[in-house]
Amino acid sequence: MDYILKNHTDQTTYYFAKGSSTDVLLPVCESGEMSLSTSTIDGSEEGNMVTWRVEDVIQTGTWFACDRAKNPYFNLIIDGTNKMYWQTKTQKNSDGRWSIDLQDEQSNVVLTIFVPDDGVGKKADNRLNILLREKSFEGQGYEIFCPTSTQGCGFEHFEITHFDFQNDDLIRGYFKGRFWVKTLSPLTAGYKNVEGEFQIKKEF
């Protein structure tokens, strides 16, 4: 939908955007950081404010202009169909990486992604792993099993855009890839396009 992008750094600048995405040049004077948030046009709902260090390019991923998006969320997209999840957990693993656990409404872990613990930036496919065990994804059940491969699991792009800046306990990022997926009903297997967009709490 149409939305407002608010620049909290100068408290005066608002950008009105139409459609689902925008590229905008944000002038910065004598500031080492930039704080932004999105809201609906009428201001009735607003997403979380996030702050970054000022760099030449700030890759923000996806924002949601709704009050609930002030909390942790994970938007999972399989072959163009999406489902929002609101229960997430992060933890440090014994191999030095950290992981994201995604839970359904019954608190069952339906997705785990293992990520290198090196802050913001793009992550290589051969350093990422994924387990999907989702039995009720919009009427379908899906499984991806790639827990330990060092050859790559199918991630085409994985990027952490925000990692606990100024101890705000937030990790933001997004990914896309083409993965070998088992469909549970009917029982089939084949490649599917899978994407994810997330804002989660750093708990380690």
Collapsing DSSP to helix, strand or coil, 38 comes out as strand
Do residue 96 and residue 44 come from a single domain?
A: no
- For residue 107, the enclosing domain spans 71-201
Do residue 101 and residue 165 come from a single domain?
A: yes
For the stretch 123-174, pLDDT in tens is 999 999 999 999 989 889 999 999 999 999 999 999 999 999 999 999 999 9
CA distances from 86 to 77, 107, 178 (A): 15, 10, 24
Do residue 105 and residue 125 come from a single domain?
A: yes
Do residue 77 and residue 64 come from a single domain?
A: no
Q: What is the amino acid identity at position 175?
A: F
pLDDT computed for residue 169 by the predictor: 94
Residues of the chain with pLDDT under 70: 1, 29-31
Pick from 35, 68, 101: which residue ends a domain?
68
Pick from 68, 100, 122: which residue ends a domain?
68
Do residue 24 and residue 102 come from a single domain?
A: no
In whole angstroms, what is the distance from residue 124 CA to residue 115 CA?
Answer: 10
What pTM was estimated for this model as a whole?
A: 0.88
Do residue 85 and residue 13 come from a single domain?
A: no
Considering its fold, how many domains does the chain have in total?
A: 2
φ, ψ of residue 138 to 5 degrees: the values are: 50, 50
pLDDT computed for residue 7 by the predictor: 87
pLDDT computed for residue 87 by the predictor: 96
In whole angstroms, what is the distance from residue 11 CA to residue 17 CA?
Answer: 18
